[in-house]
Structures are given as structure tokens and as C-alpha cells.
Structure 1
Amino acid sequence: MPEQPRAWRLVLEHIERDLLDGRLGPGDRLASERDLSADLGVGRSSVREALRVLEVMGLIRTATGSGPQSGAIVIATPSGGLSTLLRLQVAAHGFPIDDVVQTRLVLEAAVVTALAAAPDRDTEAAHRVLEAMDAGGLTAEEFLALDAQLHLALAEASGNSVIAAMMAGLRTSIESYVLEGAASIGEWSAMADRLRAEHRAIVKAIDGGEADAARALVHAHITGYYEHVLGR
């Protein structure tokens, strides 16, 4: 006999079908624990377990009480959940650095291309990070944290919420290998100056609507550091 799915999985599958079929959408309230339990023939503890999983995934938020914001409600933009899940995958599996870099190249090429092509592009957040990176006395760790924030700011500005979530999810892994590489650099100030110049060139190309140039610059930026510090 095939193994029967655990009861809480039945609840997940039911809610997934409702989302896919359009019976549920952002802002909608899920049925009550009591109703889900009765409709699906599972215990209320199984319903609560399924709702906890959905909340951790960032698909719903729950609140107690009886007002309009109480109960379990579908979240409009569950990117936080995707980022969390990807961070957990990175932590659990320790993705190879080569794979992380190749993924960055794909994602960030799409980011700068989309931004450069957008007539209403907004790079204000990226410019604020660039200014913060010009501050004197930054340690390598502080500088590289801002570096990661710059790339994330561009991803968020691209308007592609999936790419932004993936970049946020990969951030820990990116910061890890970038900081590890910094320890092998003899003259950090020279490298920091180089990275500042590369960042500004990328953002300038985006602001100028030069998609091809921005794509080439971000590719050279990512692979250049990688090859320099890790000898790849």
C-alpha cells in the first residue's frame, strides 16, 4: 500500500489548489481552523501545523482576535518567504562557490538589463549605498556588507520580485565567499577603490540606459573579484 500523506500535508495541498485555481488570492482570509478541519477530515492540530508551515514560508500571516485582520490571511508579496527558504537551503547544503557565482552572473545580468531598459528606473537607493561606501575608515567587513546591499538594491529596483528574493536569499552565501576572499588581499584599500569605481561605472551605465555596457560591467565586476581573490 502506498504511504498515506501526513494530515497536515492534506491541508497544504488543499490551500495550494485554491491558490492555483484562483479561489484564494492576496488579501483573502483562509477558512477557520474549525472549518478546514471539518471539510478535510483532519484534526485541528494538523490544520495549525499546516498554517505554521505556510507562515514560515511567507505565504500567510496569522493574527488572533475577531477583527478584520484576524485569522490567516494570504500575503500579497511572499518574497520574504522565498528568501528565507533559499537562505536555509544555502546553509544546509553549502552550495559550491562556483555555482553561487554562476547564479549571480545570470541574475545580475538580468537585473542591470531590465533597469537600464526601464524608462522609469529608480536607482536612488543604489546611489545612497554608493555614497555610504565612500565613507572613510570602513573595515573590509563593513565595506563588503554595503557591497552586498548595493547589489540587492539594484535587484529590488529592477521590479522583478522573484530575482530580488533570490538575491536576498543568496546574500549570506555571497557575503561569505566575498569576505573570505578579502582576507587574502594584501592591500585592501586598493581593492576597495577598484570596487568603488566598478560599482559607479555599473550604476552610471544603468542611469544612461546602456544595457549592454551595464551587463558587461557587472559580469567583469563579479568575475574579476572572484578570479583575483580565489584564483579561479
Structure 2
Amino acid sequence: MRVLVVEDHTELAATVAEGLRREGMAVDLARDGDAALERTSINRYDVVVLDRDLPGVHGDEVCRRLIAEGYEARVLMLTAAATIEDRVEGLTTGADDYLPKPFAFAELVARIRALGRRAQPAVPPVLVHGDLRVDPGRRLATRAGRRLDLSPKEFAVLELLLSAGGRVVAAEELLERAWDEAADPFTSTVKVTVSRLRRKLGEPPLVETVPQAGYRI
């Protein structure tokens, strides 16, 4: 899952980003509304965690523009305002969910994962294919009852391939959704990660390479 965190409080933004990366998510940061709109114009995100009270372009306006442009990411609005009226106003801008500050990090993760599952088509909370079972919320993958020791990127690639439901997923899409904007698009990092994932999944093989197209389960 790829997430954009839009937060002008430098320490909080860094802490949230670090925690989400430990949860296996690819995370980019934006410090203000202008930077958020710039990044969403270039990158595809599954969820945008958007502070409402941003300098420059206000968080409400960022949300409105994303909705008006048909941007597909789910929006989780963050704000220090705690009244019911503030929450209602935040949601009426088009946000999918709302979380007041201060918040528990575990709740933030749970809400982000819940929003990520609301993509089209909807993705179940546990992904199953034959004897392979992947539970993103618990960061647990097993095959034939055996726990798989996967790196965060291997887990992310496996989750994306399973979520595709048999569709071929291009290497470019995997790079875009499982790595952040610091990833070099000209490296063989996807190929190497898929190769390691294949070895860890064992026999019979599950990940198929489709020449000139990508990969699929």
C-alpha cells in the first residue's frame, strides 16, 4: 500500500511515516497543501493522510480538488479540532474518514488499512489463494500452514499480486505502489524482489512471469 502523509508538523510527520513504513507501507511526505497537490498529480496513492490545518492550500481545499479531479485515493482527514461540527465539516469536503488529534498510532494504522481495502474492487481483509494465506493487518503470510519469513517489500508485492485477483500486474505498477518516490525506476529492484519471493513461497510455484507484461498469481 502506498500512502501520502500531508502534515506540516515536521516531528509528527516523520514519526508517522517511520511507523507506517515499519508496517510495510510505502510512504511519501508533503509539508503543505501545495506539495500535496503536486505529489498527487505525479504519483498514485492508495490513501492520503491529510492534516486539515495546512499552510498554503488548506486541507479542506486539497480534499475538494482531489475529489473534483476524480483522484482515486481514499482520504483520511486529521485535525486538532474535536467538536462534532468540525468533524462533520471535514467529512463534507469529501474525506472518507476523520481522525482527531491526538490519536493512537494503532488506530491510525487500522483506519488506513480499512480505507485501503475499500479500493475498487473491494479487497477482503485476508487474502487466500489455495494453500496461501495473507493477513495484511497482522503482517502474516503462511503457505500450507507454514509461516513465511518475508521482508516488508516481499510482503507488499505478494499482497498486491493477490489483490489483483489473477490480473497481470506490471513491474511499473508494483514499483509505483510498493515503493516510495525515492525508488529508482531504472533498477531491477522489482525483479530481484519477485525472485526472492518466489524462493520463499516454495513449490509448486505461484508467481508467474508474463513476458512483456508483468507478474500474476
Task: Report the TM-score when normalising by structure 1.
Answer: 0.27
Task: Report the TM-score when normalising by structure 2.
Answer: 0.28
Q: Which protein is richer in helix relative to its size?
A: 1
Instruction: Name the structure, 1 or 2, with higher relative contact order (CA <8 Å, separation 6+).
Output: 1
Q: Which protein is richer in strand relative to its size?
A: 2
